[in-house]
Structure 1
Amino acid sequence: MSTPAYLNIDRENHPAVLAGHRSRAAVEARDKDAWLANFAANGTVEDPVGPSMFDEEGTGHRGAQELSEFWDKTVGTTEKIDFEFDEEIICGSEVAYIGKIVTHIGGHISESRGVFTYRADADGHLAALRAFWEVEKTIQSLRPA
């Protein structure tokens, strides 16, 4: 009798872990094309989840055009983004990370502490990226670099 997959998780090769790694590597490399290519055709980003200065309606960004515009409004305005995750939790086709994202922008640094999730589709593409962080706390963390 074989062990069920949920009791024997292949953490290094899990599709959501790999999609998440590709996403973060593209951000760190400032490679918008690689970041966009990592998404499924109808992939979505909610960063942060709910209404924000990046998404007034709080409905997220879907498809290549909206994802491209999201990059331009967020990653494209920064000097550098660091991902500092303390914990990885894998469930089904998703992975959640607990930790923080450190953003360098305009000579300042901000920290977004939260939960960051990546869901892979059947082909290993990023179907959904969701980031649970509070805008107000992030603004309060702003300090000179």
Structure 2
Amino acid sequence: MTTTVEHPARIASRASQAAASGKRKAEWLDLFAEDGWVEDPVGPSGFDPEGKGHHGREAIARFYDMTIANTDSLTFNVADTLICGDEMVYIGSIRSVVAGNQIDAEGVFVYRVNAEGKLQSIRAFWEVDRAMKTLVKL
């Protein structure tokens, strides 16, 4: 008899996506290691002018309040996933609806877990300008 054990990074990524799309802030924050961080998008942006990421749960909570909390809906469209070591990447897009505007951010989204299966980091590689070209008024 063979059993298939799902990779901890895949489990954490799915839990993160479900909590974010369900707008369950406390549940989403609880997925992170105490010293975890988020870079979304990686590099300088309006959410992170210095491009250093949001480190620690307090900073991750502020990131949530600036981004996820302001969406009407979030949909994760996963085209493919790859597992390497303690990380999982998904290739696809995130559709956000904010104030009657729909935007698709295509990219590569990297989830790293620690030994306990907690999210050590989420790093989202997507281009703001490219996403803005998909803006549709609903």
In the alignment, what sits opposite 1:111?
104
1:12-45 deviations in Å (ceiling 9; x for gaps)? 6101001101100101111000000000000110
Paired with 1:29 and 1:78, the residues of 2 have a C-alpha distance of: 11
Paired with 1:116 and 1:76, the residues of 2 have a C-alpha distance of: 20
Paired with 1:130 and 1:95, the residues of 2 have a C-alpha distance of: 11
Change (3 A) 1:72 1:132: same
- For the aligned residue pairs, the C-alpha RMSD in angstroms reads 1.2
In the alignment of these two chains, the number of paired residues is 136
Q: Give structure 1 stretches of 5+ with no counterpart.
A: 1-9
Pairs within 5 Å for 1:64-143: 64-143=57-136
What amino acid sits opposite 1:86 in the alignment? A
Q: Say if 2:137 is the partner of 1:144.
A: yes
Task: State the Cα distance separating 1:119 from its structure 2 match.
Answer: 0.4
3-state SS of paired residue (2:43): coil
Q: Give structure 2 stretches of 5+ with no counterpart.
A: none
In the alignment, what sits opposite 1:5?
none
Once superposed, which parts of structure 1, at least 4 consecutive aligned residues long, lie more than 3 Å away? Answer: none
Taking only the aligned residue pairs, the percentage that are identical comes to 42
**Equivalent position to 2:54, from 36, 61, 74:** 61
In the alignment, what sits opposite 2:9?
16
Task: State the Cα distance separating 1:11 from its structure 2 match.
Answer: 7.5
TM-score (norm 2): 0.96
TM-score (norm 1): 0.91
